[in-house]
Amino acid sequence: MAKKGNPASSSKTGNGGELHQTVSRDGQPLTTNQGVVVSDDQNTLTVGPRGPQLLEDFILREKITHFDHERIPERVVHARGYAAHGYFQAYKGNGKLTKAAFLQDPEAQTPVFCRFSTVAGSAGSPDLARDVRGFSVKFYTSEGNYDLVGNNIPVFFIQDAIKFPDLIHSVKPEPDRDFPQAQSAHNTFWDFVSLNPESMHMLMWIMSDRAIPRSFRMMEGFSVHTFRMINRKGDSKFVKFHWRPKLGTFSVIWPEAVKINGADPDFHRRDLWNAIEAGDFPEWELSVQVFSEDEANGFDFDVLDPTKLIPEELVPLTPLGKMVLNRNVDNFFAETEQVAFCPSHVVPGIDFSNDPLLQGRLFSYLDTQLSRLGSPNFHQIPVNKPKCPFANFQRDGHMQMEVSTGNVANEPNSLDDGSPREDPKNGFTSFPSQESGQKLRIRPESFADHYTQARLFWVSMTAAEQRQIVGGFAFELGKCDQVKIRTRMLGHLQQIDRDLAEQVADALGMKGSADKIKPKVPVGDPQPSPPLSQYSVAPQSLAGKKIGLLTTDGVDASFHQSLVKLAEQEQATLEIVTPKAGPIKTSKGKTVMPDHFLAGGPSVLFDCVVVAPTASQSETLIADADAIDWIRDAFGHMKVIGFNDAAKPMFEKASVAIDADEGVVDVSDGNFDAFTTAAKKHRIWDREC
Ligand code: HDE
């Protein structure tokens, strides 16, 4: 990726569009920031070899001062994130729906920058925290930058922006002790949400495995809010945006997440980086649910309420195009850290709804960028800069990068005919919706049902997904030491589903101790909506997944080759784990470099595993606790496990029966058919029953 040879070179998008200037300093002497060549970068200027330092050492002072200011404030939420470049391409013209140019031409590729994030943790927190994931996309369109700043969960905790600081304060580390980090499993969070029944729907999603995705590449994205699209004639429709990953939507399970956070805290960022470096470009389909204002008025929930989703059975998805991420960043700070998303960045053809959470966000993001990036000129930072021309009379400010010419910095003017002018025909115009009413601080009655859609989510889950949700609630509430919070939550869960409430109460050892809660409106009895479940609709595939092979020096060459082929055929990755880090030789003498040594490559890092030592090395492995844990964990995490003859004693030691179920497969003869069929099901869910 590094551009060699030129002092400055430009990165290109897949479609050849120029993205930004990178600086290579190959072959140049080391200089100060003023360009003065440095003769000695190892020693400070002192009086004699053992004497005091001199204040005049401008080389030392410049270097240290710059270092002292290297950090900028991390994002107040979504601090931990990772991003990549790519492009968006419409499938066809969508002129009937919107005039937005980037959604019209199927031949054109619009450059994008996409950042995924967790919400609660600091920038250095682990990737597998239980949390909603941010899914932000900046489209560098020909009509200006459009930011679609969404999440991987289609609803949110609160209905009004004024509650956001309280929500975030409750989930962040408690202010006196500054822990727990990147966790909702503590008193203040559960106290807040249990006092805000509007959170119930979101809590169901957060306690499900949606909150611990397998990979950014296997995550859906949602706008959460309703937006408007407007066509050339000025007709408007409401829309909700959906991103669907080509690989399908998959998650890890909680016991895995806990271990992955220790084994590889960068699990998600490493996965995205490696996939893109390998040319295995992740892809998502962008769709919208389109509906008129009249249709919206007929729904039994309010489309302006961000705690509600629109079931696909009610409004199906209309695909608009695809996004492909095909280039890693050149510099994490310059790009991923400095990228500034604002939901208020829209282009002609896209407009806002009156969702009160969205309306608050339209203010918040610009404000936060000013304090985070420190200047109203943050739009001039390469990753934020529009790739279409932009011109106005805004001037000066900290870190102004542009040298404006001429004596005119006002509009209207008659002194500079070439200066920028308004364009009433093509410029952005807001949809002229009729708005009237009293000034009030009041929640609409149409926002009052907090339980029906929480129940919709529950009844749409497979039995295995329901078990994970119960486990999620039990874990989190178990970390609250205030019994009053637990009983309040159990009261809410009873409104959602009696069975759910009972299972959670049982897991907590608190049967029969739920608070009595009276919902404001009767709770509905919705029909399941299968697309809400990950595993009702998951593709049976190994694409994008990782097979781990635990083996040893002398591995059977044809066995190894069959697995390499299998991974290729299934578009999966094979990674080799060996007891020690150094290279091994196959039975035919070929050198193979392992990807992990055993203690650094536990089986939690893989989607399915094969244990195939040589007979002689199996005796050593049997005495290695890491090797036995490898098998035990894989079995406990419901993974499909292949084994050869030599591995059998290890399974015995791990107390995993080699005929336990369809997911423990003898692959001694090098035939992986049964293994592959089982692994494509992702997990052997029945193992936990
Ligand atoms: Fe954000 N949010 N948010 N948010 N949000 C930020 O902006 C805020 C909300 C989301 O990758 C901040 O640049 C308020 C919903 C993402 O850089 C801040 C409210 C959704 C990202 C902010 C919300 C989101 C942010 C922090 C309630 C899903 C990461 C740093 C009214 C639709 C963007 C920053 C990135 C980031 C405020 C609620 C998504 C403080 C006030 C709902 C993906 O401005």
Provide DSSP, 157-200: S-SSGGGHHHHHHHHSPPTTT---TT---SHHHHHHHHT-GGGH
Would you say residue 16 has pLDDT above 60? Answer: no
Q: Is the pLDDT of residue 554 over 60?
A: yes
Write down the pTM of the prediction: 0.96
pLDDT at 13 over 50: no
**Do residues 164 and 363 lie in contact, with contact meaning Cβ atoms separated by under 8 Å?**
no
Peptide bond into 356 cis (omega under 30): no
Residue 346, pLDDT above cutoff 70: yes
Q: Domain 81-187+222-383 has what CATH class?
A: mainly beta
Catalytic residue among 20, 85, 145, 151: 151
- Averaged over 150-155, what is the pLDDT? 98
Residue 22 pLDDT greater than 80, yes or no: no
Mean pLDDT over residues 618-622, rounded? Answer: 92
pLDDT per position as a tens digit, 164-196: 999 999 999 999 999 999 999 999 999 999 999
- Residue 9's pLDDT band (cuts 50, 70, 90): very low
So what's the pLDDT on residue 26? 81
225 pLDDT more than 90: yes
78 is catalytic: yes
Instruction: Give residue 368 CA to ligand 1 midpoint distance, Å.
Output: 9
Task: Give the tokens for residue 552.
Answer: 């040893």
Whether residue 311 has a cis bond before it, omega within 30° of 0: no
Decide: 357 and 444 in contact? Cβ < 8 Å.
Answer: no
Q: How confident is the model at residue 25 (pLDDT cuts 50, 70, 90)?
A: confident
Q: Which residue has the higher pLDDT, 17 or 232?
A: 232
Q: Could you tell me the fold of the domain covering 546-688?
A: Rossmann fold (3.40.50)
Tokens of 287: 């769709």
Atom of ligand 1 nearest to the CA of 115: 11
Annotation marks residue 392 as catalytic: no
% of the chain beyond a pLDDT of 70: 97
pLDDT digits (tens, 9 = 90+) for 377-387: 999 999 999 99
CA–centroid distance, 373 to ligand 1, in Å, is: 15
Indicate which residue's Cα is closest to atom 22 of ligand 1: 365
Where are the chain's structural domains? 81-187+222-383, 546-688
Nearest CA to ligand 1 atom 19: 361
Ligand 1: atom nearest CA of 116 is 11
User: What is the distance in A from the centroid of ligand 1 to the CA of 432?
Assistant: 27
Residue of 135, 341, 363 with the most ligand 1 atoms within 8 Å of its CB, for mutation: 341
Candidate of 361, 363, 367, 373 to mutate for ligand 1, largest count of ligand atoms within 8 Å of Cβ: 361
> 381 CA to middle of ligand 1, Å?
20
Among 76, 77, 117, 137, the mutation site with the greatest number of ligand 1 atoms within 8 A of its Cβ is: 77
DSSP symbol at 213: B
User: What pLDDT was estimated at residue 21?
Assistant: 63
Res. 455 pLDDT band, cuts 50 70 90? very high
At residue 469, φ and ψ (nearest 5 deg) are -65, -45
Q: Give me ligand 1 centre to Cα 77, in Å.
A: 7
Pocket perturbation via mutation, ligand 1, pick of 149, 210, 225, 372 by most ligand atoms within 8 A of CB? 149
Point out the ligand 1 atom lying closest to the alpha carbon of residue 81: 11
**Residue among 78, 158, 355 whose CB has most ligand 1 atoms within 8 A, to mutate:** 78
Determine the residue of 160, 345, 365, 373 to mutate for testing ligand 1's pocket, defined as the one with the most ligand atoms within 8 A of the Cβ atom: 365
Residue with tokens 């499993």: 185
Q: Does pLDDT of 11 surpass 70?
A: no
pLDDT (tens digit per residue) in 86-142: 999 999 999 999 999 999 999 999 999 999 999 999 999 999 999 999 999 999 999
Output the residue whose Cα is nearest ligand 1's atom 16: 134
Atom number, ligand 1, closest to the C-alpha of residue 360: 31
Cα separation, 145 vs 102, in Å, equals: 10
pLDDT tens, 269-304?
A: 999 999 999 999 999 999 999 999 999 999 999 999
pLDDT in tens, 389-418: 999 999 999 999 999 999 999 999 999 999
Which atom from ligand 1 is nearest to the alpha carbon of 78?
29
Query: Which tokens sit at 624?
Result: 């290695």
- Give the residue, by CA position, lying nearest to ligand 1 atom 14: 361
Ligand 1, atom 7: closest residue by C-alpha = 365
Report yes or no: 407 and 415 within 8 Å, Cβ to Cβ.
yes
Q: Could you tell me the distance, in angstroms and rounded to a whole number, from the CA of residue 369 to the centre of ligand 1?
A: 11
Element at 486 (helix H, strand E): helix 483-496
Q: Quick one: pLDDT at residue 5?
A: 35
- Segment 135-153 mean pLDDT: 98
Q: Which of 78, 186, 225, 560 is catalytic?
A: 78
The per-residue pLDDT for range 425-446, each reduced to its tens digit, is 999 999 999 999 999 999 999 9
Q: How far apart are the first and last CA of the chain?
A: 48
Residue 412: cis peptide before it, omega within 30 degrees of 0: yes
Q: Which atom of ligand 1 is nearest to the CA of 76?
A: 26
User: pLDDT tens digit string along 507-524?
Assistant: 999 999 999 999 999 999
In ligand 1, which atom is closest to the CA atom of 161?
31
Residues 360, 161: contact at Cβ < 8 Å? yes
Report which protein residue has its CA nearest ligand 1's atom 25.
Answer: 78
The structure tokens listed for 641 are 């496990």
Q: For residue 367, how far is its CA from the centre of ligand 1 (angstroms)?
A: 11
492 Cα: distance to centroid of ligand 1 (angstroms): 27
Average pLDDT, the chain: 95
Asked if the model's pLDDT at residue 8 lies above 80, the reply is no
Please tell me the residue having the least CA distance from ligand 1 atom 24.
150
Closest ligand 1 atom to 224 CA? 32
Interacting residues of 609 by C-beta distance below 8 A, sequence separation 6+: 547, 548, 549, 550, 603, 630, 634, 639, 640, 641, 642
Ligand 1 centroid – CA 411 distance (Å)? 34
Residue 81 has pLDDT above 50, yes or no: yes
pLDDT, mean of residues 615-629: 94
Q: Is 364 exposed, middle or buried (0-12, 13-18, 19+ CB in 10 A)?
A: middle
Pocket lined around ligand 1, Cβ cut-off 6 Å: 75-78, 81, 115, 117, 134, 136, 149-151, 156, 161, 164, 224, 306, 339, 341, 357, 360-361, 364-365, 368-369
Q: What's the CA gap between 512 and 208, in Å, rounded? A: 24
Query: How many whole angstroms from 306 Cα to the centroid of ligand 1?
Result: 14
What burial class does residue 276 get, using C-beta atoms within 10 Å of its C-beta: 0-12 exposed, 13-18 middle, 19+ buried? buried
Distance, CA 365 to ligand 1 centroid (Å)? 7
**pLDDT tens column, 635-683:** 999 999 999 999 999 999 999 999 999 999 999 999 999 999 999 999 9
Distance (Å) from CA 344 to ligand 1 centroid: 12
Ligand 1 nearest-atom number relative to CA 225: 32
Residue of higher predicted confidence among 21 and 590: 590
